[in-house]
Structures are given as C-alpha cells and as structure tokens.
Amino acid sequence: MEQSDQSSSGSTPLPPCSRRTFLKGAALAGTVAAFPSLMAGCGSSSGDVPLEQKIAQMLMVGFRGLTLDDSNYIVRDIRDYRIGGTILFDRDAKLKTYGRNIVSPEQLQGLTAQLRTLSATPLFIAVDQEGGKIVRLKESYGFPPTVSAQQLGTLNNPAVTRLYADSIGATLATNGLNMNFAPVVDLNINPQSPAIGALERSFSADPSIVTNHARIFVETHDANRVATCFKHFPGHGSATADSHLGFVDVTDTWSAVELEPYRNLINADKARMVMTAHVFNRHIDPDLPATLSQPFITGILREQLGFNGVVVTDDLQMQGLTQFFDYKTIVEKSILAGVDIILVSNNLEYDPEITPTTINHVVDLVNSGRISEQRIDQSYRRIMALKGRLFA
C-alpha cells in the first residue's frame, strides 16, 4: 500500500533501510563529508527512497506514555511510518500534570530502549535539557543537578561551564537520549523577556560570551554523541512576549547583533542544528514569522550566514503560530521557507493522527506542485547527514 493511502488503522511497513545497514554506511562514511557512502547503504534522494519515507524523516512527534505498547500511536509512527524523531517531556502541558514521559532514570532508560527497537532507521530522541529552570530530567527525579545558562555566563568560567555541560551530555547519553534542544544562543537583551531573560535561559547580552559558552556546550555533547541545537533563530532575547502564548513582534527591539553567535559558531563548524523562533520582524518579512519565512531561513540563515545543516521548527502547536495560521498552512510555509524538521510536541495540543495527517498533506503538496520533491530531498539529505555523523 502506498504511504499516502495509509489510515490511522495501520500501515504496511516501507522497504527497510535497516539500522545495521545504516550504521555500516555511517561507519564507512565517518564524517558528513563522506555522506555519499552512507547514502549508498540507506538510499539517496535520487529516487530509491519513497517520498513518504523522506517526508516521515522530517517529522519529530511527541507522545504520552512512560512505557510503550501497540496501543500507543508513537509505536505505529516510528515502526510503520518511519518518522525521524520524537521528543520527550516530564510535564503534560495540556493536561497540566507531570509524569508524561519521564519520572526516573530507570524508567527513562527503559522507554528510550523501547523507542530504539522500533526504528529501522536510527531515531532522534530529543529533550530540552538547558539547565536551570528548563530541564526535563530533574534532580527531583534522580538525575544530576544543573545550573542555568545565566548563572554560567555570569560566572564566565569556561572550566565550570564545561563541567556542567559535560554532565548534561553524559546524563542524556546514559539515559538513551541523543539530541538536546540546547544551548540557547539568544542574547539577554531584555532581562524581563518572559520566555528567555526571566527564566535565566541566556548566557549573556554579550555575543562573545554567548559564543564561548555555547561552543563548550557543543564540544561536550559531541564527546557524548548527543546532538545540540542552537535556538531561537533569529533571536528571542529582545522580545517582550512569549511565543508559546501568542503573537511576538520584535520589529522594534531586534538588532543584527543577535545573529553574531550564529555567525561565529557556524564559522567555527560548531552548528549541528538550528531551531527557529515564531517571532515577527516586519523589517525582514512583513507577512510571516521567522519559522515560516524564506527571507529569514533561506535568505539570512542559509545564504548570509552559510548554515547548511538541519533547521528544526520550534513546536508548531505554539500559539505564536496557531493564532494566525491553520496547521496545514504552517507545514507548507515552513517547508517552503527552508525548514528540515517539523516539530510537533503533541503537548500543547494532542492529536494522535498528526503523523499520517502531515505525511499525506505534504505528499499532496508535492503531487500538486506546491512543493517540489527536490525541496524534500534537500531536507532528507541534511537529516540523514546529521544521523550519519551522530550514529557513526
């Protein structure tokens, strides 16, 4: 059965690109520069990978559950649809309860082991473990303590930052996680910014301090084989509102200095992934927030700053987008803008059918000519290159 015809009742698995084949290709490739060797083992975007599977690799979807059984849609999404990744939380935002995916090291290790066994292609398993107030693996659950980026930036002692960053990376790796949506490279321009400054998520208002500490974060996570992600492009630190809750306009507060950490880290080959922000800046794009904006993602991030890696959206269920656009429009515009991974936490809202809905929608967009298959291929290649680097 073609993937575009799948329904929520089940699906026929796609032809396998086995984990063994993938890892063999990754080992031969060694680095992203040798990516064709990896693709020889798992198929390339030249036509031997079904369109539906390439689209599925662009999806990262959250779910509820401390353990897995076949009744959980994430089992189907990973095993049959072959999505590229999942994201874990300790708190369910919609239900306003704790115990969503994480309650202890033992439980988490069991869950991540289950997730890995489901996936024919190595799976991104991500969390937000920034340190301080933004952590999913909390000390109260039995995980090591952390400190905030602001504390580290204020102390400005590279050795201390390395100690805490390495602890985070090692903790994630030990518990079966391979991706951290951190560090924050927003500048602390507005210390009262509800999403950044007020939560002590920024290292500093000084781009050189942010760059230096973010570099340490990447290096320690690389050593633990955990991918990092810079956020929130093009900069959320000057904002006076929170895009989780609604419209955020930085037109009058944003400045080009907020790009400096990205420029510095991209030039130093430390940028593995970049997460977009749902912020408006009418000087750059008068119509669309950064997540949906070609001028921001393709124009500034890729062409001006030279980033060729994976771009992931912030959660597409956040009200900074959903107040203005329906889900299908958000998906279409984000892909056209240059995004590679569509992140749907299923935490602010909850839709067990979000994966087949999204895959079928993007297939329709390709078949109708609104999105080219070449555009899908670009994202697929970037995602598989990152997986080759991470899982080699």
Positions annotated as catalytic residues are: 244, 314
The rounded Cα 360 to chain-centroid distance in angstroms is: 21
Fill in the DSSP letter of residue 280.
B
Tell me the C-alpha distance between 108 and 228, whole Å.
20
CA–CA separation, 306 and 296 (whole Å): 12
Longest dimension (CA), the chain: 58
Quote the DSSP letter at residue 219.
Answer: H
CB < 8 Å & 24+ apart, contacts of 202-206: 202/149, 202/150, 202/153, 202/237, 203/149, 203/150, 203/152, 203/153, 204/150, 204/153, 204/154, 204/156, 205/237
The whole-angstrom separation of Cα 236 and Cα 155 is 22
Give dist(CA 157, CA 272) in Å, integer.
24
Q: Which helix (H) or strand (E) holds 343?
A: strand 342-344
Give the pair of three-digit tokens for residue 300: 């500034």
Q: What is the SS3 assignment for 88-153?
A: CCCEECCCCEECCCCCCHHHHHHHHHHHHHHCCCCCEEEECCCECCECCCCHHHCCCCCCCHHHHH
Find out whether 381 and 54 touch, Cβ atoms under 8 Å.
no
Q: Tell me the residue type at 356.
A: P
Helix ranges, 254-326 (H): 260-267, 294, 319-322
What single DSSP character describes residue 301?
A: I
Q: How far is CA 164 from CA 59, 104, 157, 343, in A?
A: 30, 20, 11, 27
Let me know if 103 is exposed, middle or buried by CB neighbors in 10 A (0-12, 13-18, 19+): middle
Joined together, the tokens standing for residue 58 give 């662009």
